[in-house]
Amino acid sequence: MQLTIEDVRKVAKLARLKLTPEEEELFVDQLGNILNYVEQLNEVDTENVLPMAHTAELTNVFRTDEPKTSIDRREALSNAPSTDGKYFLVPQILEGA
Amino acid sequence: MNVTTIVGLEVHVQLQTKTKIFCGCANRFNPDAPNTQVCPVCLGHPGTLPVMNKEAFDLSLITATALNCEIAEFTKWDRKQYFYPDLPKGYQISQYDLPFSKEGWLEIDGDDGNRRKIRINRAHLEEDAGKNIHDETGRGKDSQVDLNRAGTPLLEIVSEPDLRSGAEAKQYLEEMRLLLTFLDVSDCNMQEGSLRCDANVNLHLTDDAGQKIATPIVEVKNLNSFRAVEAAIDFEVQRQLKEYEKSGRKLCDPGVEKETRGWDANRNVSFAQRGKEDAADYRYFPDPDLVPVTVTKERIADVRAALPEAPATRRRRFEKELGLSTYDADVIVNQGRELASYFEEVVEVSGDGKQSANFVTQDVLREMKERGVEIGEFPVSASILGTIVKRVVDNKITTKSGREVFSALLEEADNDQEISTSRVDEMISERGLEVVSDTGALEEAVRSAIANCSSAVEDYRAGRKQAIGAIIGQVMKQAKGADAKAVRELIIQVIEETA
């Protein structure tokens, strides 16, 4: 499968990554190689195989609806690049963006 | 040109569990203490793992079953990827191709006056995002993010485009809210965001040549009240009509995409929001952190059997079994589950549906409204009101006296006096409200009143019929529980006898 530079730009945009033209070229090859590698799986006949939703053969793992102590705010905010002591702060968001 | 409005609604409802969907943080509306109901899981820290809250899934099953949905025997969770500051993981855990339920319906009173089933496409379970608070000074200050809400269990209920007007959309939402509160799965508080709604609107036009055209679909967001939903849809109808006349753009034209618009409730207009570029590109894939859920047929049957009575069923029962009019049944049930239960308790004590309905829909609702209280805080309990109504039904007191006892008891309660069912009978005798069924005693009262009001009797005989009022007043003073109409007839009879 041949990846195009548009594919790379789109994926980069969705991931909010800014790539240089050189990086775009590089990733066309690298991502293309990965896809080609994975494409080998298409050689397997899956005609009569049901799609798998999960690799673990487990279902119905639940917890009961019992409250646990939350962490305190200072701790919650401690890894944030910017806070006002109460909220996480982010550059202004345009509504609907 | 013939215009048909086509509306589908997406309702998001927060489930009232104690804890969040994937962690043990409290699920509680608490904007005054931001970022205090958070933990590494709902903050999206690396290396943490979500574990499904059983109660959230159970409440979802109850809701979907009550919405007549088909419940999937196998369901799984998927990641919906997008970037927004209120979504700490960079993806929302939701359900994509195998939702736990699909293909249901909710019945509403359509615009044409007939009951109509609005089809439900699907209901699926997901996590809510946090809340962004934008700087509204226009000075471009940072936005604040509160993650208390992140991870609240959220049920998304998607209707088919079966609604035909803003009014029908409002009807659907009101019935949905009523059902959800009857089921006790959500408090549906719109101010607090427990119930939120987006509307998909477009028009089907048939021009004079009989050609059928569909306008592009618009999704209207920021609909914070039922009134806003109705107004936004009505606005869109006019806007899309004008837009079509101007541009001629149709649904399937090349380059026409679904447009997202916001609703400005202050100015009553919808406004274009930045197009969702690559909107369809959420790159869903199964969440490896959560295992699928299976539901057996027996389980589905059990949930169905244990469903609380739906509002529609209750209305019909009130009409059929308690003899209520459709109007009264609507008024009572639409007030919510608590009032409906209060009413049923009143009926249980009084034994009469119609009379109980009169007192509840007129007196109780009026007093509740005046006091601004819910039925739970209303001072006259169902057993007290039931006792009053029973005395009326048994002809011990007149309906008018029943109202008097009701008001007097309410006044006592307002003055912090203890009121109880026994106070009803005390008050009836204190105020002499018993219906005087002893005709001998009544006749005596009439004769003595006539003797005392000779001038009124003369006036009456002279043709001034209204003079009888004074005599009636005299009689009623002595026999308070007497039926005024019967007293009037008796007075006339006695006056004519003695003519």
CA dist B468 → B261, B435, B448, B453, B492 (Å): 69, 21, 14, 10, 8
Q: Is A56 on the interface with B (CB under 8 A)?
A: yes
The gap between the terminal CA atoms of chain A, to the nearest Å, is 33
Mutation to test the A interface, candidates B53, B143, B264, B293, most A Cβ within 10 Å: B143
Considering only CA atoms, which of B132, B276, B139, B140 is closest in space to residue B198? B276
Q: Which residues of chain B have pLDDT under 70?
A: 274-280, 437-439, 480-481, 499
Q: Does domain A5-42 have CATH number 1.10.20.60?
A: yes
For residue A52, the distance in angstroms to the closest alpha carbon of chain B comes to 10
Q: What residue ranges in B86-135 does DSSP mark as E strands?
A: 91-94, 101-109, 115-127, 131-133
Q: Tell me the per-residue pLDDT of B387-441, one tens digit each, with 9 for 90 and over.
A: 999 988 888 888 888 898 898 899 988 888 888 888 888 888 888 888 776 667 7
- Residue pair B411/B373 in contact (Cβ under 8 Å)? The answer is no
Query: Contact A63/B134, CB-based, under 8 Å?
Result: no
- Chain A residues within an 8 Å CB radius of B273: 95-96
Q: Tell me the per-residue pLDDT of A43-94, one tens digit each, with 9 for 90 and over.
A: 999 988 888 888 888 999 999 999 999 999 999 999 999 999 999 999 987 6
Mutation to test the B interface, candidates A7, A79, A87, A89, most B Cβ within 10 Å: A87
What is the residue type of A85? G
pLDDT at residue number B470: 84
CA dist B407 → B287, B349, B419, B484 (Å): 61, 19, 12, 20
Residue A95 reports pLDDT greater than 60: no
pLDDT at residue number B278: 47
Q: How far apart are CA B270 and CA B231, in angstroms?
A: 10
Query: Contact A63/B54, CB-based, under 8 Å?
Result: yes
pLDDT at residue number B491: 84
Q: Which residue of B has its CA nearest to A89?
A: B144
For residue B76, the distance in angstroms to the closest alpha carbon of chain A comes to 7
Q: Tell me the per-residue pLDDT of B131-189, one tens digit each, with 9 for 90 and over.
A: 998 877 777 788 999 999 999 999 999 999 999 999 999 999 999 999 999 999 999 99
pLDDT at residue number B499: 63
pLDDT at residue number B348: 92
Q: Which domains does chain B have, with CATH numbers?
A: 2-297 (no CATH), 309-430 (no CATH), 439-497 (1.10.10)
Query: Contact A92/B143, CB-based, under 8 Å?
Result: yes
Considering only CA atoms, which of B29, B95, B25 is closest in space to residue B60? B95
Query: Contact B76/A61, CB-based, under 8 Å?
Result: no
Q: Is B351 helix (H, G, I), strand (E, B) or coil?
A: coil
Q: How far apart are CA B418 and CA B380, in angstroms?
A: 10
ipTM: 0.89
Residue B88 neighbours by CB under 8 Å, 6+ apart? B42, B43, B44, B130, B147, B150
- Chain B residues within an 8 Å CB radius of A9: none
- Chain B residues within an 8 Å CB radius of A63: 24, 51-54
- Residue pair B419/B445 in contact (Cβ under 8 Å)? The answer is no
pLDDT at residue number B276: 54
Pick B135's closest partner by Cβ from A65, A88, A92.
Answer: A92
